[in-house]
Amino acid sequence: MFEAFVFICMLKDPTNCQTLQDTQGPYQRESQCVKRAYQIAVELPEWMPEYVAIRYKCDNKGTDV
């Protein structure tokens, strides 16, 4: 299972950054997680116009036993 995280920084102050965690996951496949991370980045200006997406991470929260 993969969880999406998007690192964002403020446009006017690039030292003011934070990490957003996706609330729709986790995802079975990494490709689904990547797609969701890009979706978050595209929608970011609508919700947080003062921020820009810098990078993403799809963290593997393995549940294999």
Complete DSSP assignment for 24-63: S--BSSHHHHHHHHHHHHHHHHHH-TTEEEEEEEEEE---
pLDDT band with cut points at 50, 70 and 90 for residue 65: very low
Confidence (pTM): 0.84
Q: Does residue 65 belong to any structural domain of this protein?
A: no
Domain that holds residue 20: 2-60
Q: Does residue 42 belong to any structural domain of this protein?
A: yes
Q: Does residue 25 belong to any structural domain of this protein?
A: yes
Q: Which two tokens stand for residue 3?
A: 């969880």
Total domains in the chain come to: 1
* pLDDT given at position 62: 56
**pLDDT tens digits, one per residue of 7-18:** 999 999 989 999
**pLDDT tens digits, one per residue of 21-53:** 999 989 999 999 999 999 999 999 999 999 999
